[in-house]
Structure 1
Amino acid sequence: MNRRLAQFDLVKPKYAKEDARMKAFYASTDYVNGLAEQHLGFIWRETEENQQLLDQLWGEGYLYTLSLWKDVESLKDFLYDTPHKAFMRRGGEWFDSISRPRVVLWWVEDGHIPTLREAHSRLTRLYEIGPSYDAFDLRSSELPAVLY
């Protein structure tokens, strides 16, 4: 079975989209998405975000990224070894802290496109039982727990 890494990231902006304090974030999204799409390990990302469903699943005001990657190493390389890292460092300027995990990873069969409902289920599983093969995060991606 060929597998791909599904990635979901949930954030809650501190300010409205029109607020001047969010200008740098929104001005950078096309650039950062372009970096991801040009990365060798990138496969797909959702471009038609379903804000209505997102609001139903998590409450109003959240943003998300849902994407597919070749493997964990490719995702980590994009996150930490490209200009994306500088934008991650600024996350505290733009986003509220979320007390629960806000990023979840899981394996999917090659050709499967993950859905927002699927991401919700996986993130909920990570909240409730912790890292497992079915739902893990970057810190637990190399632990034995993801192997069972």
Structure 2
Amino acid sequence: MAVLAQFDLVKPRYPKTDPRMSSFYESTRYVNNLAEQHPGFIWRELNEDQALLDELWGQGYLYTLSVWRSPESLKDFLYKTPHNEFRKRGAEWFLPVSKPRVVMWWIEEGHIPTLKEAHEKMQILYEVGPSYQAFDLKNSALPIVIY
């Protein structure tokens, strides 16, 4: 059975120690607990590889890599739980990016996605656009064209 891998990339406006970022970092544990308690949640990366992230995207980014039962369950978490209030405050904490910052793709249940895999999928989304191989929230409804 296929499940959904999700990768989200953000660039903070300020250094981690800047007081303007404190409300973001203080809410991280709460939001992660919300995700983990959601019925559609399967897994999230706990040991983030900042060195590899810096190598793949450049310095200063943060990311989330997780697995969900479906796009609908991810959207439910993002928009219909208290997470949505934090999502709406994103511009306070993160710089705007010109390219898509979220990519999703189907994986076999039990597969653990990697940061390199997420980078490859993001490149497909950048170069090809939404497809069965890599898509975003706006293009997560089937059918998706297979290239």
With the length of structure 2 as denominator, give the TM-score of the two structures.
0.98
| Residue aligned with 1:21, SS | helix
- Please list every run of at least 4 consecutive aligned residues from structure 1 whose deviation after the TM superposition is greater than 6 angstroms: none
State the Cα distance separating 1:146 from its structure 2 match: 4.8
What residue in structure 2 maps to residue 114 of structure 1? Answer: 113
Question: Could you tell me how far apart the structure 2 residues matched to 1:59 and 1:114 are?
Answer: 20
Q: Is the 8 A contact 1:134 1:146 kept in 2?
A: no
| Residue aligned with 1:99, SS | coil
What residue in structure 1 maps to residue 17 of structure 2? Answer: 18
One-letter amino acid of the counterpart of residue 5, structure 2: A
State the Cα distance separating 1:91 from its structure 2 match: 0.1
Give the CA RMSD over aligned residues. Answer: 1.0
Aligned identity (percent) is 67
State the Cα distance separating 1:142 from its structure 2 match: 1.1
Give unmatched runs, 5+ long, in structure 1: none
- Residues 121-146 of structure 1, C-alpha deviation per residue, up to 9 Å, x if partnerless? 00011000100000000100115335
The alignment status of 1:136 with 2:135, answered yes or no, reads yes
What residue in structure 1 maps to residue 60 of structure 2? Answer: 61
Give unmatched runs, 5+ long, in structure 2: none
One-letter amino acid of the counterpart of residue 132, structure 2: Y
What residue in structure 2 maps to residue 28 of structure 1? Answer: 27
Question: Could you tell me how far apart the structure 1 residues matched to 2:52 and 2:97 are?
Answer: 19
| Residue aligned with 1:139, SS | helix
Question: Could you tell me how far apart the structure 2 residues matched to 1:42 and 1:146 are?
Answer: 26
| Residue aligned with 1:53, SS | helix
Q: How many residues align?
A: 147
| Residue aligned with 1:57, SS | helix
- Residues 104-128 of structure 1, C-alpha deviation per residue, up to 9 Å, x if partnerless? 0000001100000000000011000
- Residues 40-60 of structure 1, C-alpha deviation per residue, up to 9 Å, x if partnerless? 000000000000000000000
One-letter amino acid of the counterpart of residue 95, structure 1: F
One-letter amino acid of the counterpart of residue 21, structure 1: R
Query: Structure 1 residues 67, 146: CA separation in 2 closer, same or farther (over 3 Å shift)?
Result: farther
One-letter amino acid of the counterpart of residue 112, structure 2: I
What residue in structure 2 maps to residue 99 of structure 1? Answer: 98
| Residue aligned with 2:87, SS | helix
Query: Aligned runs of 1:70-109 on 2, under 5 Å?
Result: 70-109=69-108
What residue in structure 1 maps to residue 144 of structure 2? Answer: 145
| Residue aligned with 1:104, SS | strand
